Amino acid sequence: MVSPHLRASLSAITARIQLSAESVKRNPEEIKLVAVTKAFPLEIWKDAINENLTCIGESRVLEAAEKAKNFLYRDKMELHLIGHLQSNKARKAIKLFDVIQTIDSIKLAKRINAICAEMGIKKRIFIQINTGNDPAKQGFSINNAMDAIWEISEMKHLICEGIMTIPPHELPEKKLLDIYRKTRKIRDMVKKSINNNCKYLSMGMSNDFETAITEGATHIRLGTALFGERQQ
Fold of 4-227: TIM Barrel (3.20.20)
pLDDT for the residue numbered 30: 96
Cβ neighbours around 66 below 10 Å, total: 12
What are the tens digits of pLDDT across the range 101-121?
Answer: 999 999 999 999 999 999 999
Given a contact cutoff of 8 angstroms between Cβ atoms, the answer to whether 221 and 204 are in contact is yes
What are the tens digits of pLDDT across the range 72-91?
Answer: 999 999 999 999 999 999 99
Looking at residue 218, the DSSP 8-state letter turns out to be S
Q: What is the mean pLDDT of each run of 10 residues along the chain (232 residues)?
A: 84 98 97 96 94 97 95 95 97 98 98 98 98 95 96 98 95 95 97 96 97 98 92 59
Q: Is the dihedral of CA 43, 46, 48, 50 positive or negative?
A: negative
